[in-house]
Amino acid sequence: MPHTVEWKVRLYLFEDEGTTKARVVRDTGTTALTGHGLAHRNPADMDVPEIADEPAAGRAMHDLAQQLVNPAEHDIAGMGATGSSTRRAAGWPM
């Protein structure tokens, strides 16, 4: 059965005194999940906020990913599936 959906994800970055905060929101209209991430600048380093954007954003996306994967794995196990994991590096063929 074909199934197609589109999820929109918004990423917000905030920098304040050497700390970059990231928030990523996946909102389907009926449910919303929010991931959070931080990156801290060493006080001895130059103040270049853009450098911290990537690790903060990556950590927020990782947090969101875990919020999606963990319940999915629980649901899969609840259906009696064995030997399958959503944590594999390879994905479904496109």
25-83, pLDDT tens digit by residue? 999 888 999 999 999 988 898 888 788 999 999 999 999 999 999 888 887 888 877 65
CA dihedral 10, 13, 14, 20 (to 10 degrees): 140
Residue 60 has a pLDDT of 97
pLDDT of residue 74: 84
9-72 CATH, one of 3.40.50.12780, 3.30.160.240, 3.40.50.300, 3.30.300.20: 3.30.160.240
Ordered by start, the domain boundaries in the chain are 9-72
Q: Collect all residues with Cβ–Cβ distance below 8 Å to 9 and sequence separation of at least 6.
A: 24, 25, 26, 64
Phi-psi region of 55 (alpha: psi -120 to 50; beta: other; left: phi over 0): alpha
pLDDT at residue number 76: 86
Contact, 24 vs 38, CB < 8 A? no
